[in-house]
Structure 1
Amino acid sequence: MTVRNLDRLFKPASIALIGATRKPNTIGAVVARNLFNAGFDGPIMPVTGERAVEGVLTYKSVDDLPVTPDLAVICTPAATVPATVDALGKRGTKAAIVISSGFSKEQTQTLREAAKPHLMRVLGPNSLGIMVPGRGLNASFGHVTPKKGDVALVAQSSMVVTSIADWATARGIGFSHLISMGDKADVDFGDLLDYLAGDANVRAILLYIESISDARKFMSAARSAARQKPVIVIKSGRTDEALEASTSHTGALAVSDAVYDAAFRRAGILRVSGLDELFDAVGTLGTGSPITGDRLAILTNGGGMGVMATDSLILSGGRLAQFAPETMDALEKALGAGSARNPLRIGGDAPPKRYADALNALMADPNNDAVLVLNCPTAVTDGLAAAQAVVDTMIANKTRKHPVLTSWLGDNTAAEARKLFAANRVPTYDTPSHAVRAFLHLVEYRRNQELLMETPPSVPEDFQPDGITVRKIISRAIAEKRDWLSEYEAKRVLAAYGVPVVDTRRADTPEEAAHCAEMIGGPLALKILSPDITHKSDVGGVALHLTEPAEVKAEAEAMLARVREAVPDARIEGFTVQEMAVRADAYELIVGMTENELFGPVLLFGEGGIGVEVVEDYALALPPLNMKLATELMGRTRIWRQLQGYRSRAAVDLEAVALTLNKISQLIVDFPEVAELDVNPLLADAEGVLALDARIKVGVPALPGAKRLAIRPYPKGLEDRITIKDGRQFLVRPILPEDEPLVHHMVANQTQEDLRLRFFAPLKRLSHQAAARLTQMDYDREMGLVAVGPDPETGDTIMYGVVRITADPDNLRAEYAVMVRSDMKGQGLGYQLMNKILDYARSRGIKEVYGEVLRENTSMLGMCRALGFIRKENLDEPGVVEVRIELGGGLAAE
């Protein structure tokens, strides 16, 4: 991730246009016209063989330019571009837009290598260019100059940028940036997300994605950006081909587009499917209206429209709110007996006051999460007056939290009402179904935000896996050049990670199978054991409900004959004999994992059994998981509602299912050799879970360890123990999302003076949002270390100190913050924590760590001095001192 020199791309002081021309209908001419006529107030220097372009004298070459341009826009043939970039780089130019197309892979690499020594940023090649209306910058060959706004658009496709610009301009929608990425030789989605997230003039970020080249970089940048402002994406290719044909159920189900869905959800961004939905979502999310659930109250003057909105809501997965008793009383009093039902119909003759009274009651109702107000035009009512009543009611109820969405039906009759809503930042939509869709955008966005920063521990505390056993099994299979573990081996792997499995034994012959049956006791299942047979039941390789050893022996002999006839070339290694699990009310589930070419391991959960590929009830997630993420994954399947119990059927032990997902997630994190996995069926009932069958594919991983994961897992290697001056020992480890209660407890045990010195202002307690921000961490760009140990009075684990650094996207500089409990002062705990975080910063290649300290915080300044920090006075804030320390040779040259 890097935003280095992107200011030169989007905020240049001077521009060179390489390949400018007056020839009509050429890219060089269109770019020149756009550049010179958009209002840019710096020098624009055409480089071309022609005498003048757009009335401006030109220059023969880069060397002839009178000043070094911040930005170069290049429109010359592909073969000439690398040399031009090198010449510009030698002059000191730090950014280039390569509009030229026709680059081969080799030419693109040559372009990248030409820019790299000069730290020059390159957008393109094959880019439409960029438009920054607020700066009068139109360095593109687009056909329209968009209006100024606060929404940024980033797209790979040039034609998507021109289409959206055209579509939006006709509707009066403005932009802060329009960026065509082209072929991403250098600048990519991760870079632009980081840059735009930090731009105060950008309210929301829109992405049009065809493909992502670096999954971890994208996920890290997207999660960071989505914490700060809405990020909304259109991903093309929803019906593209699936992953390469796979021999497991999971591999067959986990199609590439569904993996993108899982990634976007985990990143906290919202996916939409079309342009109107894209800009509706911007308008809805941009109001900042908070939402806590999926219950919608509908207020309408037309019964039919209320029914239509209800249908849209239910069919899309939302819920109608059930009015609270006090709300029903208020509505009965205001509207008359029998009126208080959802959707709330207030009559075709409803005057403005009836709208106001009804909306007042619904906004106060704790049983709904948002209100949708509908209006159908009639000859006896004034739609604009009704809209004014809605606006006035919302203004009068600013303290109430429910979002209000509106849909005024009609065309000319609704135009003024829509303008009124827009002027007061009230979301409004042309149809009820679009309004419902917008409400569900809020619901989905809230859910994604809740999942945004969940990063689980490397080894959940609930179990201790037997990694040695798993390592032996996998290493043996790889050494023997076997792709698949046997069912017996796969179940041993699961058992080593605490997943309950049926008693399964291996037999080489029918006689041994009979002996295994005698040892286990019936009822039994007998299965063929072959590395060449994936779906055993398809070839007669499964027999169930066997009871006697003799029956097992006879069935094994018959099975051997059937399988050899059906698959004569298959290698037969014997049989597995396992107990039949008799659990009448158990559900058959599937838990799986497959390797996605871009995002790495992907986990799958859904309804299992032999019809899993027909039922197609499954959901995907990126590892690593924790209990919350696992439960959310389960909740995205149809079978989820059944698992919670109904009628006489008891609820499943959902915690056991979620823990199984966590255990398998941890197996994937710990062993990159696991390339594919199926547990199908996984029986689940009120007593827990039991794995009946399992398949695991192994191999030498393309990337080592956690590097193959799109989200960096908990770095367990940073765990250590320290001893302070009084002899007490503490565990120092990376901070976890689950540490939020420990943070609150620690803050509660600070003196007010220490809190003021740490947070620069009086503080009684941390808000949930502030504590979550401290604990929910992206380990790829931040790190927090905590010192934890037992409470001397209760024995409970508590937090005694915390230190963190947050690196810039270039990984060059990082800001630190440290706090220890007030009763730990003078014990050297803060000093040891700072040393550990500085060591970590060095290991990440960070060049400088800095922080701001109140001048009166003499103890912190003294510790910084002892650690080697340099003090620098802050002229802008006289009471604040900046301290910094260089690590490993200082900052890289710009």
Structure 2
Amino acid sequence: MTVRNLDHMFKPSSVALIGASRKPGTVGAVVARNLFHCGFDGPVMPVNPQERAVEGVLTYKSVDDLPIAPDLAVICTPADTVAATIDQLGRKGTKAAIILSGGFTPETQQTVLDAAKPHLMRLLGPNSLGCMVPGRGLNASVGHVAPKKGDVALVAQSSMVVTSIVDWATARNIGFSHLISLGEKSDVDFGDLLDYLASDHTVRAILLYVESISNARKFMSAARVAARQKPVVLIKAGRSEEAQEAATSHTGTLAVADAVYDAAFRRAGILRVSDLDELFDAVGTLATGVPITGDRLMILTNGGGMGVMATDSLILGGGRLAALSDETREKLAKTVPAACTRGNPLRIGGDAPPKRYADTLSALLDDGGNDAILVLNCPNAVSDSLAAAEAVVETLKAHKGRRHPVLTSWLGDTSAVESRRLFAANRIPTYATPSKAVRAFMHLVQYRRNQELLIETPPSVPERFQTNGDMVRAVVDLALAEGRDWLTEYEAKRVLAAYGIPVVQTHQVHTPAEAALAAEEIGGPLALKILSPDITHKSDVGGVVLHLSDPDEVREEAEAMFARVRAAVPNARIDGFTVQQMAVRPDAYELIVGMTDNPLFGPVLLFGEGGIGVEVVEDYALALPPLNMKLAADLMARTRIWRQLQGYRSRKAVKLDAVALTLNQISQLVVDFPEIAELDINPLLADQDGVLALDARIKVAPPALSGARRLAIRPYPKALEDTVAIKDGRQFLVRPILPEDEPLVHEMFARMTPEDIRLRFFAPMKKLSHQAAARLTQIDYDREMGLVAVGPDPETGNTIMFGVVRIAADPDNVRAEYAVMVRSDMKGQGLGFILMNKILDYARTRGLREVYGEVLRENSNMLAMCRTLGFVRKENLDEPGVVEVRVELGGGVDAAAD
């Protein structure tokens, strides 16, 4: 379940309070007070066999005595009574319950869930504070303060966090649309509430306080949907968790739990913050709705010291100072005294009158070289802070069509109060200190970056890499059959090569004599390494020797290495040596590419600076698979070494596409083979000629989950690919849609007639926007599916798109809306019919009960096809020109998680 019956919880028409009480200080008494005195306009029915009345309202002895079935039940009776109560409520017709009681064991909690399941009743809790919906007067909680009405929803795992936030926010006049305490999350969880709140028009932004997530794929799908529609800002507790104790690779050691959460939140489009101040500052900043295009900030100040402090905060936070254009400098020469700087920060003098603020800000607003402007004011005896604030407000009113967000920070206490009120009244973000203002700017920057990842069209993989899955399967199965956790270095490199990753020539040998023969075959210079399944880091025990020149030297070093390693690790199994070609690439960087299996999110990819000191350097970033070239580039850009890879001074830039391709190849490898539990390529050499894997380690284990079920994001479903033929004999590949298909969608749209576009989109359109095309191509395969028919262009031979069909399922996986479009010159060839049959077959396999759509009454071809496919027609009384069509599918096996 996801959003099913949640309206009964958050928009109830009636409430029953089970365990209502008159005894002061009890949960039953506090909740009764809140329910009866916060403005709820429906019946509140207290249930308690020991009380005659609560809050002046007669009580009912039991659930069976209630005159109507309550939409919502609030339960605060002992844990061992709750299951029976849930069953009674379910039989009466109640669809939602909030369990405030604590003291549940896993067994009693499961008993409660079993009691609710036959009735499709949704449960919040147990051990929940409850929920508050101020706009509906609903306060079904143990909260001590009634929150103000607003348009921000808060979902928190901790009851005490909710009460603290309400107390904190009320003092600052901040209101809420919803306050929801999840408690133990036995049923309703973060994913459910993200889905629900994303579609609620009264919610402008969603705040989350997270301690743990229970269902990663559900959370990721819901978060990606919500973040496309409104800001989602999150605090995650537990940032200081230690590295996973069981990790034995570099990647496993570096990929600590909190860093993995960070990668997941970034992929979902969520903005993560660290404390309550930052949480509400972020919401306030994002709520202005002013778009931002980059990370260049212009700082305007009447005090030099504060400008310097703001600059420090900006650079340390990852932003950049904007540069002034020559044209702007000429304007400023007429405005700013010569004694003041005309750089950035732009200091306009401690005695700056309001007009100087206005003229300077106006010039900066016309400058395209900045992405946002921060206006600072330091109070002093020779200037009027409030008058300066008024000048800023009037200037911004005169520039209504401005491209730049403007943030303000009027320093001081009593002297700045009126100025801050003025800014707030005019919806201009204002902050108590320059550092908070800069932090708010970086929130905008990070939020924009996250949103771009959700809608930006990735480039295609620059070259199609061939894979040899059969060879990888044979290597993995052999290791598992022999009871080995780790592949040998030789096997690991064979696996990498099978996925197109360049590796150095490597021979596996058993004796020093065989090592010499291998050296003669390869030719120098050479590297010799010990071969042992029990030695994780070979160089730590003297198991690596480099720059050997001839077979005799290799044999001698092999004999010495055997003795050295045996002395250092007496109990280690030594299977021999690997002899490999030394890569002579003096300008190459040492990188690390890796993967580890996180217990919650599944496979996690790592990229960063490599070498033997990788844990000390700690220059790395994490991402969740599957990747594409854009996501790979974003992963690389989050490391310090990224700037070096682009070249500097006499050192040439690395072939970055080759590095990104390697990340994609590793991503595909771990998607295809769930037995791969850990993987390290360290070092991966990278220079202007490409990449080369020098050393590789791969750990294997029987997977806990089969196939792609272990992934937090469902990968490309290759099994849906098929070849079809239309009436004239032409054949097309029908496959799931990809983010890289956006150019093909635009090209197909350009070949549509205006009439076909109107019939499809219900309105004339000259072109398809990037946002619309991105929404069509960048889908969550766990919630949606799009199938495209592609083939060669008869004129150019290039691959083009001839048709597309998609369904978008509701969060409960019950109904899905369809849409289909084929090129205008394909009419009468049966392609639309083929695509509709394909998508309906898929809908059946994932267990959907119904597919529906809206069709213009005049679209006779579409209506005829729907009749043939078994759709029934329903007139739309609200829109006489539109007909709803729907087809019952009869259920099936739910394959959505594969």
TM-score range, shorter chain: over 0.9
**Does the 8 Å contact 2:815/2:849 carry over to 1?**
yes
CA–CA separation in structure 2 for the residues paired with 1:455 and 1:343: 35
User: What's the CA shift for 1:328?
Assistant: 1.7
Distance 1:783 1:208, change over 3 A: same
**Does the 8 Å contact 1:453/1:778 carry over to 2?**
no
Q: Which residue of 2 aligns with 1:8?
A: 8
CA–CA separation in structure 1 for the residues paired with 2:102 and 2:555: 70
Q: Which residue of 1 aligns with 2:57?
A: 56
Percent pairwise identity:
79
User: What's the CA shift for 1:378?
Assistant: 2.0
User: What's the CA shift for 1:360?
Assistant: 1.5
User: What's the CA shift for 1:411?
Assistant: 1.3
**Does the 8 Å contact 1:294/1:319 carry over to 2?**
yes
Q: Which residue of 2 aligns with 1:627?
A: 629
Q: Which residue of 1 aligns with 2:159?
A: 158
CA–CA separation in structure 2 for the residues paired with 1:642 and 1:855: 60
1:471 aligns with 2:480: no
CA–CA separation in structure 2 for the residues paired with 1:98 and 1:757: 50
User: What's the CA shift for 1:242?
Assistant: 2.2
User: What's the CA shift for 1:400?
Assistant: 2.0
CA–CA separation in structure 1 for the residues paired with 2:893 and 2:424: 48
Aligned partner (choices 617, 620, 627) of residue 618 of structure 1: 620
CA–CA separation in structure 2 for the residues paired with 1:676 and 1:230: 35
Please give the per-residue CA displacement for 1:649-692, whole angstroms capped at 9, x wherever unaligned.
11111111111111111100110010000000111111111111
User: What's the CA shift for 1:24?
Assistant: 1.1
Q: Which residue of 2 aligns with 1:824?
A: 826
User: What's the CA shift for 1:395?
Assistant: 2.1
CA–CA separation in structure 1 for the residues paired with 2:427 and 2:364: 20
* Structure 1 runs of 4+ with >6 Å offset: 454-460
Q: Which residue of 2 aligns with 1:92?
A: 93
Matching residue's letter, 2:264: A
User: What's the CA shift for 1:270?
Assistant: 0.2
Aligned partner (choices 496, 499, 502) of residue 501 of structure 2: 499
Q: How do 1:630-645 residues align onto structure 2 when only pairs under 5 Å count? A: 630-645=632-647
Please give the secondary structure, in 2, of the residue aligned with 1:28. Answer: helix
Q: Which residue of 2 aligns with 1:430?
A: 432
CA–CA separation in structure 2 for the residues paired with 1:460 and 1:759: 34
Distance 1:658 1:279, change over 3 A: same
Distance 1:127 1:465, change over 3 A: same
**Does the 8 Å contact 1:50/1:58 carry over to 2?**
yes
CA–CA separation in structure 2 for the residues paired with 1:454 and 1:291: 15
Please give the secondary structure, in 2, of the residue aligned with 1:452. Answer: helix
- Structure 1, 125-134 or 557-566: larger mean CA deviation: 557-566
Q: How do 1:319-334 residues align onto structure 2 when only pairs under 5 Å count? A: 319-334=320-335
CA–CA separation in structure 1 for the residues paired with 2:296 and 2:657: 26
TM-score, with structure 1 as normaliser: 0.98
Matching residue's letter, 2:782: D
User: What's the CA shift for 1:597?
Assistant: 0.4
CA–CA separation in structure 2 for the residues paired with 1:277 and 1:340: 32
User: What's the CA shift for 1:334?
Assistant: 2.9
- Structure 1, 819-828 or 347-356: larger mean CA deviation: 347-356
Aligned partner (choices 421, 436, 440) of residue 419 of structure 1: 421
**Does the 8 Å contact 1:457/1:714 carry over to 2?**
no
User: What's the CA shift for 1:244?
Assistant: 2.6
Distance 1:267 1:771, change over 3 A: same
- Structure 1, 326-335 or 277-286: larger mean CA deviation: 326-335
Q: How do 1:236-251 residues align onto structure 2 when only pairs under 5 Å count? A: 236-251=237-252
- Structure 1, 369-378 or 593-602: larger mean CA deviation: 369-378
Please give the per-residue CA displacement for 1:524-558, whole angstroms capped at 9, x wherever unaligned.
11111000111111111111111111111111111
Q: Which residue of 2 aligns with 1:712?
A: 714
**Does the 8 Å contact 1:459/1:666 carry over to 2?**
no
1:201 aligns with 2:206: no
Distance 1:711 1:890, change over 3 A: closer
Q: Which residue of 1 aligns with 2:26?
A: 26
CA–CA separation in structure 2 for the residues paired with 1:261 and 1:550: 51
1:742 aligns with 2:758: no
Distance 1:454 1:98, change over 3 A: farther
Aligned partner (choices 365, 368, 379) of residue 366 of structure 1: 368
CA–CA separation in structure 1 for the residues paired with 2:792 and 2:342: 55
User: What's the CA shift for 1:128?
Assistant: 0.2
Structure 2 runs not aligned, ≥5 long: none
**Does the 8 Å contact 1:15/1:43 carry over to 2?**
yes
Matching residue's letter, 2:326: P
CA–CA separation in structure 2 for the residues paired with 1:339 and 1:356: 17
User: What's the CA shift for 1:243?
Assistant: 1.7
Please give the secondary structure, in 2, of the residue aligned with 1:106. Answer: helix
Please give the secondary structure, in 2, of the residue aligned with 1:592. Answer: strand
Q: Which residue of 2 aligns with 1:275?
A: 276
User: What's the CA shift for 1:335?
Assistant: 2.5
CA–CA separation in structure 2 for the residues paired with 1:478 and 1:889: 38
Please give the secondary structure, in 2, of the residue aligned with 1:130. Answer: strand
User: What's the CA shift for 1:384?
Assistant: 1.9
Matching residue's letter, 1:622: L
Q: How do 1:468-867 residues align onto structure 2 when only pairs under 5 Å count? A: 468-867=470-869
Please give the per-residue CA displacement for 1:148-194, whole angstroms capped at 9, x wherever unaligned.
00000000000000000000000000000000000011000000000
- Structure 1, 496-505 or 377-386: larger mean CA deviation: 377-386
Distance 1:346 1:492, change over 3 A: same
Please give the per-residue CA displacement for 1:181-208, whole angstroms capped at 9, x wherever unaligned.
0001100000000000000000000000
Matching residue's letter, 1:690: L
TM-score, with structure 2 as normaliser: 0.98
User: What's the CA shift for 1:722?
Assistant: 1.1
Q: How do 1:89-168 residues align onto structure 2 when only pairs under 5 Å count? A: 89-168=90-169
CA–CA separation in structure 2 for the residues paired with 1:890 and 1:47: 42
Please give the per-residue CA displacement for 1:266-297, whole angstroms capped at 9, x wherever unaligned.
00000000000000000011111111111000
Please give the per-residue CA displacement for 1:484-522, whole angstroms capped at 9, x wherever unaligned.
000000001011111111111011111000000000011
- Structure 1, 244-253 or 662-671: larger mean CA deviation: 244-253
CA–CA separation in structure 2 for the residues paired with 1:267 and 1:889: 30
CA–CA separation in structure 1 for the residues paired with 2:224 and 2:403: 26
Distance 1:891 1:536, change over 3 A: closer
Matching residue's letter, 1:7: D
Q: Which residue of 2 aligns with 1:449?
A: 451
CA–CA separation in structure 1 for the residues paired with 2:279 and 2:853: 40
User: What's the CA shift for 1:461?
Assistant: 5.7
Distance 1:769 1:456, change over 3 A: closer
Q: Which residue of 1 aligns with 2:80?
A: 79
Matching residue's letter, 1:14: S
Matching residue's letter, 2:243: A
Matching residue's letter, 2:80: A
**Does the 8 Å contact 1:157/1:181 carry over to 2?**
yes
- Structure 1, 235-244 or 252-261: larger mean CA deviation: 235-244
**Does the 8 Å contact 1:46/1:57 carry over to 2?**
yes
- Structure 1, 547-556 or 353-362: larger mean CA deviation: 353-362
CA–CA separation in structure 2 for the residues paired with 1:584 and 1:133: 66
CA–CA separation in structure 1 for the residues paired with 2:492 and 2:867: 56
**Does the 8 Å contact 2:847/2:892 carry over to 1?**
no
User: What's the CA shift for 1:380?
Assistant: 2.4
Q: Which residue of 1 aligns with 2:45?
A: 45
**Does the 8 Å contact 2:726/2:830 carry over to 1?**
yes
**Does the 8 Å contact 2:848/2:891 carry over to 1?**
no
Q: Which residue of 2 aligns with 1:256?
A: 257
In angstroms, what is the RMSD of aligned CA positions? 1.5
Please give the secondary structure, in 1, of the residue aligned with 2:335. Answer: helix
Matching residue's letter, 1:32: A
Matching residue's letter, 1:256: A
* Number of matched pairs: 892
Distance 1:736 1:687, change over 3 A: same
- Structure 1, 122-131 or 45-54: larger mean CA deviation: 45-54
User: What's the CA shift for 1:456?
Assistant: 8.3
